[in-house]
Amino acid sequence: MIQQIQKQKELEQFLNSSLQSHQVLHIELMHNQIRIQNVPRLVSALAKCVNLSNLTINLWPHYIGAIGTLSLVSGLEKCVNLSNLTLKFDDNQIGDEEASSLGSYLGKCINLSNLTLSLEYNYFGYKGASGLGTGLAQCINLSNLTLNLKQNQIGDKGALGLGFELAKCINLSNLTLNLEKTQIGDENALALGSGLAQCINLSNLTLKLEGNKIGDKGAQGLCSSIGKCINLSNLTLNLDYIQIGDENASVLGSSLAQCINLSTLTLSLKCSQIGYKGASDLGSGLGKCINLSNLTLNLDQNQIGAIGTPYLVSGLGKCINLSNLTLNLDSNQIGDKGVSGLGTGLSQCINLSNLTLSLQCNQIGYEGASDLGSGLGKCINLSNLTLNLDTNLIGDKGASDLGSDLAQYINLSNLTLNLNGNYISDEGVSGLGSALANCVNLSNLILHLCDNLINISQKFKLIRQYFKSKRLVVFKKYIY
């Protein structure tokens, strides 16, 4: 039985219950639903829950403060059977001393195997982060760890200590580490990478470093370290707004190529100053991940251009097991030539069944749209397609040709098509509508045609045309 405590009344019932009988306990107390004077009573009660194996405590925001939060955790060391613990203490005024003490208390929970700890928007720095890491290193049975330290003042020294201590968690197989906007620089990134490389049993890793001060040296060391986690099967890496550049993108590609067991990869490199060479080398590295079946790649707002795009996708075409692909190349100055190469490259992904492709703001004209549609048509197993061509230049001919190409996708059942802001008039809409009506297996269609040159009567004609299709189960239109 799961005991839920969400209100003061429920808290009183828990305090007066048979405490030794509880095995699973969820405490969700927010917006001043726990009075500060009741914290010692709750601490005392938790210490008596000797058979507790699963505990969740969520206190947000800072209604009992750092001292109250710490007092609450102090009773956990007596819960000797505790194996699964979730603590959410976001925005609770926790400083260095409290974070270190929290780590110390957690280190005494020797049977912990699964821990989720969220401490974002607090006030601790490198001392607190290091102390927290020291405590976690004592949890020798820890196999699954989710640690959210977003927007604290950790800095280089803090990440250095944290990375060093995490390396001691030798049984760690699943790690989620959120260090967004924590003022990490080169030295810290290097240490963090070094620590992760020593977690030899890691199979699932999520690392979020968006918005830090990592430069060329730190990025190179971090990217290089990823390749040493040879048992990784699932990797999520967020390096948005970090100056990766071509050289480090190449290093990252080489490192990923060493992760031969990788099956699922989410890689976000938005605004990372990557040009055509970095994109080419990254694609080449990914092409060596022969077991990759799920890939999400965000390269929004880089400088890949018409030259880099075909090379990037050429590498992806070598991922013969790739079935699910999300690729964001918004604002990369790709143009017609680049998008034609993109279509040709993706045509090599013969096992692709689900594709989300975003090419917003890339100066793509009718030739590029037509070539893209023709190339994707060779992905014969494609059943779900989301295609975002918002704010390009495809015009009437591009819309009609793209529609004609889509009509040839014999297995396509779900289509989301965004053609907002593409100078399409009545003629283009008519051609697009007639062509899409021939998609024999299409059951779900979402169509975006806002900010074009379509008159009101043509809009209603388009709507009537689609509603006549007996095959469509869902039709959503955005054309105003």
pLDDT at 6: 47
Half-sphere exposure of 408 (CA within 13 A, CB side): 13
Query: Cα(459)–Cα(447) distance, rounded to whole angstroms?
Result: 12
Q: Evaluate whether 357 touches 327 at the Cβ level (below 8 Å).
A: yes
Residue 4 has pLDDT above 80, yes or no: no
Q: Which residues contact 12 (CB under 8 A, 6 or more apart)?
A: none
Dihedral of CA atoms 146, 150, 154, 159 in degrees, nearest 10, equals 40
Distance CA 382, CA 323 (A): 9
Task: Please report which confidence band the pLDDT of residue 199 belongs to, taking 50, 70 and 90 as the band edges.
Answer: confident
Condensed to tens digits (0 to 9), the pLDDT of residues 262-309 reads: 999 999 999 999 999 999 999 999 999 989 999 999 999 999 999 999
Higher pLDDT, 307 or 186: 307
pLDDT single digits (tens) 230-267: 899 999 999 999 989 999 999 999 999 999 899 999 99
Q: Name the pTM for this structure.
A: 0.92
Can you give the residue ranges of every domain in the chain?
1-81
pLDDT in tens, 365-400: 999 999 999 999 999 899 999 999 999 999 999 999
Residue among 69, 61, 67, 56 nearest 33 (CA): 61
DSSP string across 295-357: EEEE-TTSB-HHHHHHHHHHHHTT-TT--EEEEE--SS--HHHHHHHHHHHHTT-TT--EEEE
- Least confident range from 327-331, 344-348, 354-358, 365-369: namely 344-348
Distances (CA, A) of 253 to 220, 280, 293, 305: 11, 9, 17, 18
Give the torsion sign (CA, 450, 454, 456, 462): negative
**Backbone phi and psi for residue 130, each to the nearest 5 degrees, phi listed first:** -65, -45
Q: Which of 205, 214, 261, 200 is nearest to 236 (CA)?
A: 205
Neighbours of 286 (CB within 10 A): 24
Q: What pLDDT, on a 0 to 100 scale, did the predictor assign at position 30?
A: 60
pLDDT digits (tens, 9 = 90+) for 408-427: 998 999 999 999 999 999 89
- For residues 7 and 415, which has the higher predicted lDDT (pLDDT)? 415
Average pLDDT over residues 213-228: 83
